[in-house]
Amino acid sequence: MRTLSLLSALMLMQGAVLGQNANGGSGTRLTLEEAQALAAQRAYNVRYASFDTEEAASNTRELIASGFPQISGSVEYNRYIDIPTQVSSGDVFGFPDYLNTFLGDVAQSTGVALNAPPSDPNAIQEFQFGAEQTMTAGITATQLVFSPSYFVGIQAAKAYASAMEAAESKSVADARRAAGEAYAAALAAKENVAILSEAQALASSAFDQTRALVEEGLAESTDADQLELALSEISQQLTTAESMASVALDALKFTIGMPVETTVILADNFESLSTAFNGAAVLGTPFQAVLLPEIEAQSKNLELSELGIRNEKAAGLPSIGAFYTNQRNAQRDAFDFFGDGNWYPIQLVGVQMNIPIWSSFGGKEKVQQAQLTRDRAATALEQLTQAATLEYRAARSEYNSALEQRQQAERSLGLAERILERTRIRFQEGLASSFDMTQAQNQMVNAQANLTQATLRWLNAHLRLQRSLNA
């Protein structure tokens, strides 16, 4: 699955590069959907979540493998600097009582004394067993036969892997929303630059016309000064807007996991996104909390806590394991283990059963702690469900409010355009002052900026509503 995701990302990036070449190599053109697709593959949080998912899957396979036969080999070499000495009482190897009695009877009947030396009850005998150098080589095989904790552990590992997959899905959904918001912010910054560039052009044209009228004596120099001052202010705002647009574009590249050195061209605009975003379809989507990745992840956590209770209970049940050992042992007075000396076999097979008998109520407390963990997970699931419901309602309300605000901004822009056009005509006819012209231009710029901000808010509200529905 991860390999397919990487291939998809590579294909998407290849398509972006082809788009770059098709447009003269000036930069990588990205639509909003392409930016979101890249974020779903390359965003840093998504990559971290992918690592967690792969690690959980690997842990599951490792746990399953622990229930299959385990074989290990060993080689051990020992050289005794001092061979261990064993001690015993002096008569430990004496004749048994029945033999002593028999020999005493023979001595009596024959009249021949035994002449045995007197025994010393305090005498100590010293013995050294073994060779100076030993080597042991062998293999050992073990097999888990029965363990309730093992079977519960496999279920828990699989549930944990599923929880990590759900967490990765949440990271993908969050990355798509963050990429969408960053893309919209970059578009807004770009639109702001376009608005101020247009305003600068209008102010420059008005200033040139007024300066010509001043030179002909048809207008006062104050009018030209006022327009020049307005033009200077707009130029400063344009410089700031261009810098902010560059920062917003870098933020977008960082959000989608693209190197900030990459040249990116925004292929979409507010008009195309307004057409592509189907608000009616999103508003008509029913809210189902169980479809949200964060709810699914917490449901898996609840399942894990249930398995935790079962695991603690299973810890009180017996477990059975089988083993087999095959070894060869050699003992030498010198290091000559590869010659013709004997290697003595050792073989052992057995079954071991571990039976918990008494834990001084420790097992009972562990079960109770696991139950508290389960209750905490159930409470967290209820809290997340309620929070998701509130988030959906808030997102829906914000979307409706943003849509109404955007429609009002569009009407205000149309009104500002008509005012500016009438004021320009009156200014050319000498019926309006430069102050009126500057005021009309400022109203036009403000109306355009308000529409940009309203559109940005509407796009973000749309993305938020999509995220709350996992649409």
pLDDT classification of 87: cutoffs 50, 70, 90: confident
pLDDT classification of 70: cutoffs 50, 70, 90: very high
Are 373 and 439 spatial neighbours (Cβ–Cβ below 8 Å)?
no
Q: What is the pLDDT of residue 334?
A: 81
- Assess whether pLDDT exceeds 70 at residue 4: no
pLDDT classification of 11: cutoffs 50, 70, 90: very low
More confident residue, 100 or 245: 245
Q: What is the pLDDT of residue 116?
A: 65
- Assess whether pLDDT exceeds 60 at residue 10: no
Q: What is the pLDDT of residue 104?
A: 73
Question: Quick one: what percent of the chain has pLDDT higher than 90?
Answer: 47
Q: What is the pLDDT of residue 13?
A: 42
Q: What is the mean pLDDT of the chain?
A: 85
Q: What is the pLDDT of residue 236?
A: 93
SS3 171: helix
* Tokens at 414, concatenated: 């149309």
Are 432 and 384 spatial neighbours (Cβ–Cβ below 8 Å)?
no
- Assess whether pLDDT exceeds 60 at residue 9: no
| Closest CA relative to residue 295, chosen from 176, 463, 169, 178 | 169
Is 84 domain-assigned?
no
| Phi, psi angles (nearest 5°) of residue 114 | -75, -30
Contacts of 406 (CB under 8 A, 6+ apart): 451, 454, 455, 457, 458
Q: What is the pLDDT of residue 437?
A: 81
Query: What would the pLDDT profile of 417-445 be if each residue is shown by its tens digit?
Result: 999 889 888 877 778 877 788 888 889 88
Across 13-24, average pLDDT: 42
Residue 132 to residues 83, 336, 370, Cα–Cα distance (Å): 6, 12, 55
Q: What is the pLDDT of residue 3?
A: 38
Residue 386 DSSP code = H
Q: How many CA atoms lie within 13 Å of 155's alpha carbon, on the beta-carbon side?
A: 13
Q: What is the pLDDT of residue 347?
A: 93
pLDDT classification of 30: cutoffs 50, 70, 90: very high
Query: What would the pLDDT profile of 288-337 be if each residue is shown by its tens digit?
Result: 999 999 999 999 999 999 999 988 888 888 899 999 999 999 988 888 88
- CATH at residue 362: 1.20.1600.10
More confident residue, 363 or 344: 344
Query: What would the pLDDT profile of 233-255 be if each residue is shown by its tens digit?
Result: 989 999 999 999 999 999 999 99
Range with the lowest mean pLDDT among 80-94, 122-136, 159-173? 80-94
Is 265 domain-assigned?
yes
Q: What is the pLDDT of residue 12?
A: 42
More confident residue, 125 or 285: 285
pLDDT classification of 6: cutoffs 50, 70, 90: very low
Separation of CA 124 from chain center: 71
How many structural domains does the chain have?
A: 1
- Assess whether pLDDT exceeds 50 at residue 22: no
Are 230 and 437 spatial neighbours (Cβ–Cβ below 8 Å)?
no
Q: What is the pLDDT of residue 117?
A: 64
Query: What would the pLDDT profile of 40-61 be if each residue is shown by its tens digit?
Result: 999 999 999 999 999 999 989 9
Q: What is the pLDDT of residue 15?
A: 43
Is 133 domain-assigned?
no
Is 247 domain-assigned?
yes
Are 457 and 406 spatial neighbours (Cβ–Cβ below 8 Å)?
yes
Apex CA 253: angle with CA 248 and CA 256, to 5°? Answer: 125
- Assess whether pLDDT exceeds 70 at residue 142: yes
Q: What is the pLDDT of residue 218?
A: 67
Is 123 domain-assigned?
no
Is 121 domain-assigned?
no
* Tokens at 53, concatenated: 């998912």
Is 421 domain-assigned?
yes
Q: Which domain holds residue 425?
A: 2-66+147-317+356-469
Residue 97 to residues 93, 94, 103, 122, Cα–Cα distance (Å): 12, 9, 10, 19
pLDDT classification of 469: cutoffs 50, 70, 90: very high
Q: How many CA atoms lie within 13 Å of 191's alpha carbon, on the beta-carbon side?
A: 23
- Exposure string of 253-277, with b = 16+ CB inside 10 Å and e = fewer, is bebbbbeeeeebebbbebeebeeeb
Is 77 domain-assigned?
no
pLDDT classification of 21: cutoffs 50, 70, 90: very low
- Assess whether pLDDT exceeds 60 at residue 260: yes
Q: What is the pLDDT of residue 202?
A: 81
Query: What would the pLDDT profile of 148-205 be if each residue is shown by its tens digit?
Result: 888 898 999 989 999 999 999 999 999 999 999 999 999 999 999 998 898 888 888 8
